[in-house]
Amino acid sequence: MANFIFKKEDVKVYVVYNNLQYRIDISDIEFSQTFKQANYDVRTLHSQDYFQGSVINTANPVTWSLNTPLLQEATNRVVFDRLIDVATFDLYISTKYDDFKLEKCFIQDGSFEIEGSKPLRLSISGEASKLSTYTGTIPGVAQNTGITTSTYMLAKVPTLTVGSTRLSPLSLKLELQNEIEWNKYVTVNGAVGATNAATSMYPSEFVIGKRVLAGAVGLLSPENSTERLTWNNGTSVELKVGTASGTFYGIHFNSNNCSFTNRLKTGDIFQEEYSWRMLQNPTSLSSVLTYTTQ
């Protein structure tokens, strides 16, 4: 009887970056790659065939996503760092029976899951050049081998300020989007040389376009609110999510140039929602969005 792979059974995930190997914690992971099929007519005057012929020699980019906790320790920090610098890495998924490799991964979207009663988490998605079954030892020098604990941080909000207004939110969102576009990779020589999946044409180079760092804050609307139904450009936003006392560990965003709009939401209790977006163009994004670990 054949053995089948169950995702929840025994899946280990490794990030390999600059020949350094990081095993990261995940709660979920998805990945897939498809091939392009180009159809053409084969009917002639003498042969009225109704079904078309096809050519398959090009692979679409891999799509992948995963969810990881942002711990007080630096165990999963490599994921945050690659979201910030948009550097490429390889991803290895090791199961009980088979291993898989995603080559030249980058992160397009990172969403911080901030819910007061749940641990702080980071949900990321992106693309990669090639997905293949991998055999052999996963490369790279193992990192974080001295970390033996996993300290989860509840998504408490010690500091949240929009302009000069200190807020007490009911809900909170923070997201970074990286606009990425693959360069054209279809060539005549590549099409002629493609005889199977291994020799197909895979994407290899990309360019980075716009980047958007934005968020939303939901809160109860007090009577005679002066912020309700307003907007502003060039205001400051500061957000800290992590440990509430002692040495701070967690996510810290601080920018003096953001835009925001405030809208009213009508439910059983009236609420307000601030939707904000960073306008600042820092030399390094890590100067305004940081993840402090032990």
Measured in degrees and rounded to the nearest 5, phi and psi for residue 286 equal -65, -10
- Say if 6 falls within a structural domain: no
Residue 1 within any structural domain of the chain: no
The tokens describing 75, both together, are 């165990």
Going by their DSSP bridges, the two strands 141-142 and 20-24 should be labelled as parallel
Residue 282 · residue 257 · CB < 8 Å = no
Contact 120, 110 (CB under 8 A): no
What contacts 115, CB < 8 A, 6 or more positions away?
155, 171
Structural domain including 280 reads 12-37+53-292
In a domain, 5, yes or no: no
Structural domain contains residue 150: yes
The single-letter code of the amino acid at 278 is: M
- pLDDT at position 37, please? 75
Whether 211 is covered by a domain: the verdict is yes
**CA 278, CA 212: separation in Å to the nearest integer?**
7
> For residue 191, which of 57, 34, 55 has the smallest C-alpha distance?
57
From first to last of its 294 residues, the chain has per-residue pLDDT tens of 567 666 666 789 999 999 999 999 998 999 999 988 776 666 666 666 666 666 677 888 999 999 999 999 999 999 999 999 999 999 999 998 899 999 999 999 999 999 877 899 999 999 999 999 999 999 999 999 999 999 999 887 778 888 888 888 888 899 999 999 999 887 766 665 777 777 788 998 999 999 999 999 888 887 767 677 888 899 999 999 988 778 899 999 999 999 999 888 888 888 888 899 999 999 899 999 999 999
At residue 43, the pLDDT reads 67
First to last CA, the chain: 47
Spell 195-208 as b/e; 16+ CB within 10 A means b.
Answer: eeeeebbbbeebee
Number of domains in the chain: 1
Residue 177 inside a domain? The answer is yes
Enter the pTM of the model.
Answer: 0.88
- Structural domain includes residue 111: yes
**Secondary structure of the chain as H, E, C letters:** CCCCCCCCCCCEEEEEECCEEEEECCCEEEEECCEEEEEECCCCCCCCCCCCEEEEEEECCEEEEEEEECCCCCCCHHHHHHHHHCCCEEEEEECCCCEEEEEEEEEEEEEEEECCCCECEEEEEEEECEEEEECCCCCCEECCCCCCCCCCCECCCCEEEECCEECCCCEEEEEEEEEEEECCCCCHHHHHHCCCCCCCECCCCEEEEEEEEEEEEEEECCCCCCCCCCEEEEEEEEEEEECCCCCCCEEEEEEEEEEEEEEEECCCCCEEEEEEEECCCCCCHHHCEEEECC
Whether 146 is in a domain gets the answer yes
Q: Are strands 206-220 and 271-278 parallel, antiparallel or unpaired?
A: antiparallel
Report the pLDDT value the prediction gives residue 157, as an integer from 0 to 100: 75
Q: What is the pLDDT of residue 218?
A: 87
